[in-house]
Structure 1
C-alpha cells in the first residue's frame, strides 16, 4: 500500500513526499506514458465535468448541428463542453488528442488517425468515436448508415431517369475508395441499380465550396455528360451547383444535385424550401453518443465494442431558382 501512496502523492504533487522520490516516480510515469486521469480525480469530490467534442471543421455546415446535439446532452447534466477542431487535417489530430487528454473528462470525437484515437482511448476516459468506418473494436462509437443512404440517393436519381451520375469525393480523406466509404458505397449502389459505374465516375474535390466548384469544372470540361451530381457533402455540392449555374447549366433540368448531409438549402442560392421531416431536433448518433458517454461516466464504465447506428433519409428541396435534390443523412 505504501508504494501506491507514494505514487499517488508524486503524480498529484502532494507535499508529503521527498522531492527526489517524486522526480523518480515522475520519470518512470513519463517513460510508461502515464497521464493522470481527470475522470478518476472527479470521482473523489464534486466538480464540474468537462466533455471534449472534437470536430473536423467549424466551417462545415454539418457540424453546427453536431455541436448543438452535444451541448443539449451536456446541459441536461450540468456539464460544460470544450470544442476542438482539427481543421480536417490528419497532422493536427495528434496535437488535439494530447490537449483533450489533459483537459477534459470524457470525449466525443470525429477522428481518422489511429494514433490520435489510441491516445485518447489509452487515457481511460469515456470515449465515443463518430463517423469512422474503421473504428477500433475496443472503442465505442456512433455511425451513420451511409450504405442505406447512398442506395436511397442513387435510387432516387435513377428513378428519375438519370444514367450518368458524377460523384464528387473528398480528396482529403486517407481512406477514399476503401470499403464502407461514400466513394465505394456510391459505386456499389450504382452497380446494384444497373449503372456501368467505375472509378471514372468519381471526381476528387477539395472539401470546400471552391473545391466543389473546381470539381464541377472537371465534370463539365471532361465531357462526362453528367445529368446528376452526387457530392461527398453539402458544401461540395453547393459549390458545384453554383458553378454549374454560372456556366449556364439549368438545375435540375440539365443536372440535378445531391449532397450527403442536410445543410440549409438557402446556401445553394435559393429561398428556403419545404423539408418533409422538418429541421428540428438533434442528430441522433451524436446525441446518443453524448448520452452514452454521460451514462458511462456516472458509473465509471470503460469503452467497449459498441456502435450506435443511425439511419439515413432522403430530403427533397425545391428552391424556386432551380431545384436541387438534397440528401439529408
Structure 2
C-alpha cells in the first residue's frame, strides 16, 4: 500500500511535502473508481496520515527509473458532415494565448486552468465570438476531506468581453456552493454560460463513507446549460447551430478536469448510455457534450 501511495504521489510532488501528501490521499479517497485500493485508503485514512511524509528521495528515484508517460487526450470522432463544417471554420479560429491570473483564497489548495478561442465570421471579418473554458479543482482542508471540481464554458460576442473583477478579471467562472442550505449551487449564471459543471466528493473525517444513500447524495453532479444559438447566428454560417458551436469549441480545445475529475462524470454518462437515456452512435463526442445534451433535453439539473 505504501509503495502504491508513493507512486500515486509522484505527479503531485512539490516543495511542500505536507500539501502534496494530503492532496494525494484526498485524490485516492475521492476520485478513484470503486475498488479495493480506494476502500483500503478510506478505511485506513487516519493511519495513512501518520506515515512518513519524507517521500521525495523515493519519488525521485522512481521517476528517474520509471518516467511517467503523459496521457493522451481521446481523439473525438465526428460524423463526416459535421467534420466538413468544422474544417471550414478552423482557418477563422485563433487561440487566445494568455489570460490574467484568477486569484483564489490562499487558504485553499486550488488548481485553475483556462483556455479560449476567438472565431471570426467567415462572411464578415468585423464580427467574432469568443469561447473561454475554465476548470478548477479545489481540495478541502484537514477538517473537510473533500474535492470540488468546477468547469464552465462561456461563449459570447467578442465585443462583450471585458475585465470586470479583481479575483476573476473576466468575471466568467461561477462560484459553486455545495451544502449549507444553498439551493442555487452556482452564482452569477447568465446567458453566456453555455455549460457549467460542479462535482463534489467528500469523505468523513473518520475515514468512513457512511451509508450508501449518503454516498449517492454526496456525489451528485450538478450541471447547468444554456443554448448557444445567438452566438452561432452571429457567425453567419449556414446551418451552423448553437449545438454545433458548442461541439466545435469542445472539439477544438478538448478540455478535461484536473486530477481525474472526469472519472465520476464518465461513470454516470456510461450508466445513462446503458439505460438508454443517452443514445449511442459511431461518433465519439466529448464527455461534456453528452452531459450538456442530456440536461438540455431533460430539463434536469443533476446527472
Structure with the greater alpha carbon radius of gyration: 1
Q: TM-score, normalised by structure 2?
A: 0.32
Q: TM-score, normalised by structure 1?
A: 0.30
